[in-house]
Structure 1
Amino acid sequence: MLLTSIPYFREVIVMSFRCEHCGNQNNEIQSASTIRERGTVYTVKVLNQGDLDRQLVKAETATVMIPEFDLTIPPHRGQLTTIEGILRDTMQDLGGDQPLRRIQDPPTYEKIESLLQRLKEVVPDDDDEAAPTMKERKAEDPIKPFTVILDDPAGSSFLEFKDSMADPKWTLREYARTSEQNISLGLIKPENAEQERLTQKEGPPNPDDEDELPAEEVFVFPGICSSCGHQVDTRMKKVNIPYFKDIIIMSTNCDICGYRDNEVKSGGAISDKGRRITLKVEDAEDLSRDILKSETCGLQIPEIDLVLHAGTLGGRFTTVEGILTQVYDELNEKVFRGDSVGAADSSDNREFEIFLGRLKEVMTAAQPFTLILDDPLANSYLQNLYAPDPDPNMEVITYDRTFEQNEDLGLNDMKVEGYEPPPRTD
């Protein structure tokens, strides 16, 4: 047993066992620290041979998924390995019983054999004379792109980034555990799970703000999930943002397929003027500011040439860090969507990788930047940390909408007075 520390992660216990009599051996790891308050999901886009060498810490509570191969590795013993190592382990585990499956269960044999062939395109067998050897491979050599997703509700797993957390191929997302996950981790008793589930179910979509936003009645509307077609409930709640106005938050969560959607609408009248909010972000504290971006609001960060037009992402009520993370996730999916090596290695994608790296620096406030919200309906909001006093890092300007803006918003033809039909004279 060895207690060791993994850089940028935490301390782990590495255990190795080998029997000299029968040859049985086993290697695994266990976390040497407490369970995190939130689960973690690491995502890495694998594009070349060098990406296969990324270190991977898989705790006994973690699941590894590779969507391109329809491969899911369920929670099992802990492992300290690499992406290539876990692929080779999977090939070895699945391939060991293939001769028996070929006789007893031919359909399953064919499915697994197809998966093994696709895995061998990425990680060739050492016995394959036509495949390049380890010494002949170069880190920059392209391979067929795929995605590795490491999901651990205990937050005890890790997937290595290159150079820094600004690595455009690497992302980390944290999430709140469900009651079932808390039970499996031994954090709550089964008899307490139902009460916790009901509390989460009837709570507001943003529970962290429940102390600040007054509780209102939650309305539930049954509907159909747009992803899997099962019955799903949409919850709607009106809340008040201090020093701003009422808003309506709508949330849809599907328990069958995991589809989630959250949207925010204005709950007040149409403003007579537009509003432009400019914030100078200087440190990580500014990233925690609440932000309400309506569907009519545009967003800009001049330092990295980021421009989001009105309608992009829809309405969102989150934090500055949260909105930037959503922008990154949307762009990241578009950059690495190519199915061939040529698509992944194009010059356009290289430019996007550079842009995503700059966006990641902004997401961590590694450098100061300017955030601009321009909403012609003045339905957007950015938290003032000094309220009700003016915020020295924030500038709020109201302006008159142009005729073109009113036309795009459908306000020029809107008639709110004198719309009754004229009285009949006969």
Structure 2
Amino acid sequence: MSASGAVEPGPRGLPPPTEDEEQQPTEIESLCMNCYRNSITRLLLTKIPFFREIIVSSFSCELCGWSNTEIQSAGRIQDQGVRYSLSVRGPEDMNREVVKTDSATTRIPELDFEIPAFSQKGTLTTVEGLINCAISGLEQDQPTRRAKEEAIELKKMANPFTLMIDDPSGNNFVENPHAPWKDDALVITHNNRTLQQEEMLGLQTEAPEEKSEEEDLRNEVLQFDHKLPRMQCPCSDQHKVQIPHFKEVIVMATNCENCRHQTNEVKSGGEVAPLGTRITLHITDPSDMTRDLLKSETCSVEIPELEFELGMAVLSGNFTTLEGFLKDICKLVTKNPFTLGDSSNPGQSEKPQEFSQKLNQIIEGNMKAHFIMNNPAGNSYLQNVYAPEEDREMKMEQSTLKTYTPTK
């Protein structure tokens, strides 16, 4: 309801359904385009599970028997287009529900068959119904030999085959009977619309300003082949990220679907700073654990209260929270192979456990400590939660880089 108490209209002017009228269609008197006499059109606003709201429009003329059913999306055009690729393997796949908008293109690659966009009205049907509608259209409207041959091929088509529905408006839908779990037979891909697709949907009125190649790459995840030593799997991504009140960093991730190998690393995206930095944080509250932290490969870490020092290049580049970084240190110390096993001395195995207990006390807020990051390259970062104001618990010092002078 609005501030004045009036009921606001639903999508496309339809009144929002109440609890009693949720499944009741709206009836509108309209003209039959077959006999040109008045009949009834029924509109129903409904919600498809795991999808969105749609408007089902059904017209049936009691005088001449002509009927027509269409669907329209009740929401806006999505930010990205969507492509569904369904591997039809049996009768159960033929019964999947499908929402096909009028802007969608349907393909069956095995038959080199395509239904172009805007050649059919939007419909709510099944995979089998979609194919039967295509067969009826070929037999009725195109009496040429090629159309008859395509209709015969569609009728005789046996499983398995691939059904692809590409919709630049992003409002298509193919049912996943296993939802909310993943469907191995269904692949959903989201993509950016081309200029031609923007114009086709009536979204592009003026030519967009040309962007430089550097700006395009700044907002794009770069993918390239990276051969793993064991599985030889191509699976590596890179992306530039701007850290507020700091600089750009490059996030590198490897995630292989075949061997499940996963790694991630962060590199500084800028030049080496003219001055080195030493960041000292006085940990006094559990909320300090949520601070963002960037440790580059040239940064060393100290915790004086625990007499602990982590040298450069240990744990490589890492962009995480302070809590996540302290837990990584805990794993590194407690799983040291030289302090485990039967060959280790009793005193050696007790020290890592004692260190782990004290580190957990710092993480839980039961122990105050100082966390020091010393980076001669100046490319490490610890979040100032009061930015742009000064953080009373954090101190940042800068120092010149030490240069090597050879002796005579």
TM-score normalized by the length of structure 1: 0.44
Higher relative contact order (CA 8 A, sep 6+): 1
TM-score normalized by the length of structure 2: 0.46
- Give 1 or 2 for the bigger CA radius of gyration: 2
